[in-house]
């Protein structure tokens, strides 16, 4: 049964992720197909507080599915964390006549959505973060693109490392999660990968692996470090002290957030955007749209925020096996 929904808002918040535009496009076009007006809130929750918005239609979302970043811009809002800031945001929702809001982002975005829902505004969250660290969803929009960007960069680095017979230490993003580093490490055939989910022993996890690779005839070495597992500069210094090698450090940084989204992020983002509108239309607001076993599911937002995610340590076992003996 569909509820009377006339107008909804959509926003992107927190760190940007490739595929956010695919979600926005799907939200707008699905809403239009249901006769619902869509208002884009610019700059996340700051936009709700300050009334920064744009009326969206088919034209405003044409040719954005292939673009990285977010056409709605994004920001973090300290003011929204306060009761006064939340009241301003709710007042904006009521002024604009929004019957619901779709919030695209990570854990902080969902906590903001929960705050809005507790003030009576139906909200649907969509997980979009390159860190892939949202407990309720097996996959988050942007992760696949970020992995591919990092793999491309590391493949290029390997070309020059081979030419000079050097060691490269590459730091990838992920905050306190090692998903990006582990997936990229496996995909690039890294000599060693350091992740925050596993205690780091540089002698065991890096130096000995470099020695084994050298004994097997290798003359160049690739070490991938998750930012939550330590500093690439510090790891480089320890490698130099233990082996005499002079590693080159590369911090990939925010290039991992950019670029045209992969087909997976476009397709998954589109499905999630569609399901978010469907949830509001059927009266199932105050939820998060997530992935589970390849399917799109709808989870109560309070339940979703309480969920934790088991890190796929079996993939670290794969890494260990394929890097044995260099």
Please tell me the predicted confidence (pLDDT) of residue 3.
64
Three-state SS at 8 = strand
Q: What span, in angstroms and rounded, lies between the C-alpha atoms of 80 and 93?
A: 14
Task: Please identify which residue in the block is written with the tokens 């590369």.
Answer: 250
The active-site residue, picked from 131, 133, 144, 205, is: 131
Please tell me the predicted confidence (pLDDT) of residue 29.
98
Q: In terms of Cα–Cα distance, which of 13, 40, 17, 41 is closest to 29?
A: 40
Beta bridge partners, 105, equal 127
- The model carries a pTM of 0.94
Q: What span, in angstroms and rounded, lies between the C-alpha atoms of 113 and 163?
A: 51
The domain 144-258: what is its CATH number?
3.40.50.460
Domain boundaries, the chain: 7-142+261-306, 144-258
Please tell me the predicted confidence (pLDDT) of residue 2.
57
Q: Do domains 7-142+261-306 and 144-258 have the same CATH topology?
A: yes
For domain 7-142+261-306, give the fold: Rossmann fold (3.40.50)
Q: pLDDT tens track of the chain, all 326 residues? A: 556 899 999 999 999 999 999 999 999 999 999 999 999 999 999 999 999 999 999 999 999 999 999 999 998 899 999 999 999 999 999 999 999 999 999 999 999 999 999 999 999 999 999 999 999 999 999 999 999 999 999 999 998 888 878 899 999 999 899 999 999 999 999 999 999 999 999 999 999 999 999 999 988 999 999 999 999 999 999 999 999 999 999 999 999 999 999 999 999 999 999 999 999 999 988 999 999 998 999 999 999 999 999 999 999 999 988 886 65
Query: Sign (positive/negative) of CA torsion 85, 87, 89, 95?
Result: negative
Q: What span, in angstroms and rounded, lies between the C-alpha atoms of 29 and 33?
A: 6
131 is catalytic: yes
């Amino acid at each position: 049964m569909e509820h009377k929904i006339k107008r909804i808002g959509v926003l992107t918040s927190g760190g940007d992720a490739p595929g956010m535009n695919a979600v926005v496009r799907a939200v707008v076009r699905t809403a239009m197909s249901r006769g619902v007006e869509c208002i884009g809130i610019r700059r996340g929750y700051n936009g709700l507080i300050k009334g920064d918005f744009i009326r969206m239609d088919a034209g405003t979302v044409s040719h954005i599915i292939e673009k990285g970043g977010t056409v709605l811009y994004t920001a973090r809002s300290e003011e929204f964390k306060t009761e006064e800031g939340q009241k301003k945001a709710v007042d904006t929702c009521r002024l604009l006549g929004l019957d619901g809001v779709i919030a695209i982002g990570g854990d902080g975005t969902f906590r903001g959505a929960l705050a809005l829902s507790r003030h009576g505004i139906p909200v649907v969250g969509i997980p979009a973060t390159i860190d892939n660290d949202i407990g309720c969803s097996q996959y988050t929009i942007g992760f696949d693109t970020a992995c591919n960007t990092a793999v491309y960069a590391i493949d290029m680095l390997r070309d020059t490392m081979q030419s000079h017979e050097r060691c490269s230490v590459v730091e990838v993003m992920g905050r306190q999660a090692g998903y990006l580093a582990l997936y990229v490490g496996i995909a690039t055939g890294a000599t060693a990968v350091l992740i925050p989910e596993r205690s780091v022993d540089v002698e065991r996890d890096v130096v000995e692996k470099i020695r084994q690779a050298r004994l097997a005839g290798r003359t160049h070495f690739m070490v991938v470090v998750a930012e939550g597992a330590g500093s690439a500069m510090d790891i480089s210094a320890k490698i130099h002290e233990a082996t005499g090698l002079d590693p080159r450090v590369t911090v990939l940084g925010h290039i991992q957030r950019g670029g045209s989204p992969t087909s997976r992020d476009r397709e998954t983002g589109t499905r999630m955007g569609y399901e978010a509108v469907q949830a509001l239309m059927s009266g199932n607001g105050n939820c998060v749209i997530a992935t589970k076993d390849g399917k799109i599911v709808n989870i109560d937002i309070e339940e979703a925020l309480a969920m934790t995610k088991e890190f796929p340590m079996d993939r670290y076992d794969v890494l260990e096996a394929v890097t044995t003996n260099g």
